[in-house]
């Protein structure tokens, strides 16, 4: 019987390079407080645009409080809700990342 996968002749560097390439398009999200609003900027680790991608603001019970799309600059601005919340960037193709309000600073 022939093995399904053989690593013979494959370098560790080659395997690690393939793994790194698989993660080259990871979602990136950063939010900060600017005056009385929260400004979120999102994109992808390879520099590709996230314009038009969905972003949500949810409460602690995952109830959607706000929902919108990123503008051409990859930005979404909202007035912070009066409860603990988290921001979810939905980048498509299972690319998703979350930032909790406790980690959003000025």
Domain CATH code at residue 73: 2.60.40.1930
CA max distance for the chain: 67
Q: Tell me the mean pLDDT in the region 38-63.
A: 97
Between 63 and 24, residue with greater pLDDT:
63
On whether residue 8 sits in a domain, the answer given is no
On whether residue 98 sits in a domain, the answer given is yes
Query: What's the predicted TM-score (pTM) here?
Result: 0.76
- Number of structural domains, the chain? 1
The span from the CA of 38 to the CA of 55, in Å, is 13
| pLDDT on residue 106 | 87
- Indicate whether 25 pLDDT > 60: yes
On whether residue 51 sits in a domain, the answer given is yes
- Indicate whether 16 pLDDT > 70: no
Residues present in the chain in total: 106
The whole domain housing 66 covers 25-103
| pLDDT on residue 24 | 65
């Amino acid at each position: 019987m022939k093995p399904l996968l053989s690593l013979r002749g494959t370098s560790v560097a080659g395997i690690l390079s393939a793994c790194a390439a698989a993660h080259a398009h990871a979602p990136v999200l950063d939010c900060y407080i600017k005056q009385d609003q929260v400004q979120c900027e999102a994109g992808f680790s390879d520099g590709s645009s996230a314009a038009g991608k969905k972003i949500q603001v949810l409460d602690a019970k995952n109830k959607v409080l706000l929902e919108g799309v990123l503008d051409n600059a990859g930005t979404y601005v909202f007035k912070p809700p009066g409860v603990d919340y988290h921001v979810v960037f939905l980048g498509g193709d299972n690319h998703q990342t979350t930032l909790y309000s406790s980690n959003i600073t000025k």
